[in-house]
């Protein structure tokens, strides 16, 4: 595009005699440099050597000579004009069928010729710049991988960039944000209203932060919108771009959370220590009176005080990072911790429960919440204490699980709907001696863990009651099963999705070893592009194995175990495996056609090289291990799977033109028999 650096002020004069060419050269305006050329070869050579040609003047040519001049011009630019200065009806007819060409009879004055050439050069200058601008914009829209857009005055898309994780650009045309997106919030409507405001007022919006939610989590964009004006300066729409600032906003959130924990730490300590201190003081009086059993209560209360101090210290620090040595990895559980729910609830109740109150634990044995005990215990403790404080001395408290979390409910008077958001705020209390910190601790834990909490009426007892239901909270309910026979071999391999480079899967020398090479932009949202070595089986089914090597070409290159409903691109699936730089990743699409979500666990690389995936009656449990013997669940999802399923090894490079290679060892696929 270096020709854009040169002003097109040169007219090449070809054809006719030397006198004819000199006459034309003398007729052109002073601002245009006229250069005479002898023939077509000379014309072609000069066009290839110069970037400042703005017009070709063909003098006295016949139709063939005119065609030669046009062909030479089109080799340089689709818009380079050719002015035919001739007396030939065939040439006049040929000009009429050619864009950017003009005909002028030899009888016209040289002044008229000069004006025609001057106008042709000016038109070419404008069209050349417009074509360059259009090409630049088209390249940015198609190749820039940055969200750019143009909308009309009604907020409807006219053009949209082709970027990953968004619908096809053609699907945007003629639609507004609320019609294209479905983020489940007011973000789309607010963005649409901003479009209308910019188009109406002509005032730009610059670097505005917009937040929206997808199945993959929270995302933020920094959006700039400016008025789109026509040649007369009238606003005809909006032009803008959006930058993904999710990482920046997540960091900001973490810093704000740390500051808030620091500010609230003292009040939390005071609140949570109060009950065991009261128990200890009361028991001390009974001990002085000679009641020896009181010493046991004092001991339990003191142990609880120590636990509270440890728990609140961890809560104040949030997610902890530790520089782990190889020796520490052998003995320390890193990455994702889990808490067995029922024993924790019963232990907390043993400290705070009363003789008249009743606890019902409707939790299957072995059910685990995928979170540290230090985070779960304060939440459970404050919910149980809240029920005991507000629902009466003979309250019944019930704890149970849901499809995607757990709940704590009571049979007390409940919480009025108008107050359900307020009760989670720090300082809110309905009693004169209350501190308002108990349920705020619950809200803090929920926010820290990335869960959701919904307060509603209880399903326990006749009274309205209060029910705290926690969702987006990984809870693993045991699905006991055992293999029914010998392992089943992987029998096929295929590229799923529109990959650029074909993948491959090759069994290794040892039993259960595989080398899998895969391309693909991603496995997330509406993109399924990867290589898959698989076998088709009727469920229930288990696959496990060790990821020995991953040659990552991107921080989100991934390799692991997958179960899918079918081999279709938008099939329901679950995945567990490793990424290049973000530790273990779990992924899922709950039903065909839905957006796929993911979690990265960010544990130290190679801390958990073993992975397992169990699919039993639509429940998929994802686990990891350090040695292939002691397994720890890390997630469980309901996935819409129907027999037969396809299960195997998946590798995605997270790149359009590079492949990643993974080596798996000890891979086994077995059919399962669920245990009663």
362-401: per-residue pLDDT in tens? 999 989 998 888 888 989 998 998 888 888 888 999 999 9
260-301: per-residue pLDDT in tens? 656 655 555 666 666 677 677 777 877 787 777 778 877 877
pLDDT on residue 510: 82
- Cα separation, 179 vs 11, in Å, equals 52
Please count the other Cβ atoms lying within 10 Å of the Cβ belonging to residue 69: 23
- Cα separation, 675 vs 221, in Å, equals 48
pLDDT on residue 38: 81
Burial class (CB in 10 A: 0-12, 13-18, 19+), 30: exposed
Residue with more model confidence, 519 or 29: 519
- Cα separation, 517 vs 504, in Å, equals 5
Contact criterion met (CB below 8 Å) for 23 and 36 = no
Question: Long-range contact list for 183-186, CB < 8 A, 24+ apart?
Answer: 183/212, 183/213, 183/214, 184/213, 185/211, 185/212, 185/213
Fold of 251-476: Heat Shock Protein 90 (3.30.565)
Match domain 2-136 to its CATH number in 3.30.1960.10, 3.40.50.720, 3.40.920.10, 3.40.50.2300: 3.40.50.2300
- Cα separation, 435 vs 271, in Å, equals 7
Task: Sketch the domain layout of the chain as residue ranges.
Answer: 2-136, 144-244, 251-476, 481-674
String of b and e for 300-313 (b: at least 16 CB within 10 Å)?
A: bbeebbebbeebbe
Q: What is the dihedral of CA 553, 557, 562, 566, to 10 degrees?
A: -80
pLDDT range class, residue 321, cuts 50, 70, 90? very low
CATH level 2 (architecture), domain 481-674: Sandwich (2.60)
> What are the Cα distances from residue 60, in Å, to 89, 91, 109, 526, 539?
12, 10, 15, 62, 84
- Cα separation, 561 vs 546, in Å, equals 10
pLDDT on residue 39: 84
* Residue 424 per-residue DSSP state: G
Q: Decide if 2-136 and 144-244 have a common fold.
A: no
Where is 282: in which H helix or E strand?
A: helix 246-288
How much is the average pLDDT of 323-347? 62
158-214: per-residue pLDDT in tens? 888 776 666 777 888 888 888 887 655 678 888 899 999 999 999 999 998 888 776
Closest CA to 37 of 150, 50, 27, 29: 50
String of b and e for 5-28 (b: at least 16 CB within 10 Å)?
A: eeebebbbbbbbeeebbebbbebb
pLDDT on residue 9: 85
For the four alpha carbons of 172, 176, 177 and 178, in that order, the dihedral sign comes to negative
pLDDT on residue 427: 45
Strand partners, 507: 514
- Cα separation, 14 vs 10, in Å, equals 13
- DSSP annotation string for 189-210: HHHHHHHHHHHHH---EEEEEE
CATH superfamily of 144-244: PAS domain (3.30.450.20)
Contact criterion met (CB below 8 Å) for 181 and 192 = no
526-582: per-residue pLDDT in tens? 899 999 999 999 979 999 999 999 999 998 999 999 999 999 999 999 999 999 988
């Amino acid at each position: 595009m270096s020709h854009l650096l040169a002003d097109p002020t040169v007219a090449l004069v070809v054809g006719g005699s030397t006198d004819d060419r000199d006459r034309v050269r003398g007729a052109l305006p002073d601002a245009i440099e006229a250069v005479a050329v002898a023939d077509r070869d000379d014309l072609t050579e000069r066009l290839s050597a110069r970037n400042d040609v703005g017009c070709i003047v063909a003098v006295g040519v016949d139709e063939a000579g005119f065609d030669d001049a046009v062909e030479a011009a089109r080799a340089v630019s689709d818009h380079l004009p050719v002015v035919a200065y001739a007396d030939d009806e065939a040439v006049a007819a040929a000009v009429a069928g050619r864009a950017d060409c003009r005909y002028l009879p030899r009888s016209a004055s040289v002044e008229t010729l000069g004006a025609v050439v001057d106008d042709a050069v000016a038109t070419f200058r404008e069209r050349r710049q417009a074509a360059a601008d259009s090409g630049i914009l088209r390249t940015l829209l198609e190749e820039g991988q940055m969200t750019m857009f143009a909308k009309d005055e009604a907020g409807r898309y006219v053009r949209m960039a082709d970027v990953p994780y968004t619908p096809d650009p053609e699907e945007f045309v003629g639609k507004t944000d609320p019609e294209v997106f479905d983020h489940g919030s007011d973000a789309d409507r607010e963005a649409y209203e901003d479009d209308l405001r910019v188009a109406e007022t002509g005032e730009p919006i610059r670097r505005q932060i917009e937040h929206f939610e997808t199945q993959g989590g929270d995302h933020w964009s920094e959006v700039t919108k400016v008025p789109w004006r026509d040649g007369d300066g009238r606003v005809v729409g909006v032009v803008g771009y959006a930058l993904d600032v999710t990482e920046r906003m997540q960091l900001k959130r973490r810093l704000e959370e740390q500051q808030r924990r620091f500010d609230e730490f003292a009040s939390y300590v005071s609140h949570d220590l109060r009950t065991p201190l009261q128990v200890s003081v009361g028991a001390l009086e009974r001990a002085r009176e000679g009641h020896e059993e009181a010493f046991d209560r004092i001991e339990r209360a003191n142990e609880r005080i120590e636990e509270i101090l440890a728990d609140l210290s961890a809560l104040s620090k949030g997610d902890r990072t530790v520089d782990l040595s190889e020796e520490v990895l052998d003995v320390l559980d890193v990455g994702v911790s889990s808490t067995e729910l029922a024993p924790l609830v019963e232990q907390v109740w043993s400290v705070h429960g009363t003789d008249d109150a009743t606890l019902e634990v409707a939790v299957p044995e072995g059910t685990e919440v995928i979170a540290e005990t230090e985070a779960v215990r304060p939440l459970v403790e404050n919910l149980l204490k809240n029920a005991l404080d507000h629902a009466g001395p003979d309250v019944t408290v019930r704890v149970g699980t849901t499809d995607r979390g757990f709940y704590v409910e009571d049979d007390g008077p409940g919480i009025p709907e108008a107050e359900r958001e307020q009760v989670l705020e720090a300082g809110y209390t309905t009693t004169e001696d209350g501190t308002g910190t108990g349920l705020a601790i619950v809200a803090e834990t929920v926010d820290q863990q990335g869960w959701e909490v919904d307060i509603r009426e209880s399903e326990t007892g006749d009274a309205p009651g209060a029910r705290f239901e926690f969702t987006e909270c990984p809870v693993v309910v045991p699905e006991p099963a055992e293999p029914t026979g010998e392992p089943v071999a992987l029998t096929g391999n295929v590229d799923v999705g529109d990959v650029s480079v074909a993948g491959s899967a090759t069994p290794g020398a040892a039993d259960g070893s595989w080398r899998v090479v895969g391309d693909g932009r991603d496995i997330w949202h509406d993109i399924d592009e990867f290589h898959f070595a698989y076998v088709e089986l009727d469920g229930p089914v288990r696959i496990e194995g060790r990821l020995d090597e991953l040659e990552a070409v991107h921080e989100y290159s991934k390799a692991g175990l997958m179960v899918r409903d079918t081999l279709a691109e938008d099939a329901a699936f679950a995945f567990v495996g490793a990424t290049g730089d973000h530790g273990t990743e779990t992924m899922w699409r709950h039903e065909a056609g839905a957006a796929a979500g993911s979690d990265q666990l960010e544990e130290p690389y190679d801390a958990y090289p073993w992975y397992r995936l169990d699919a039993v009656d639509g429940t998929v449990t994802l686990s990891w291990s350090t040695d292939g013997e002691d397994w720890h669940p890390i997630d469980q999802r309901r996935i819409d799977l129907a027999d037969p399923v396809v299960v195997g090894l998946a590798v995605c490079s997270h790149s359009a033109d590079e492949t990643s290679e993974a080596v798996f060892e000890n891979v086994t696929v077995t059919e399962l028999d669920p245990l009663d």
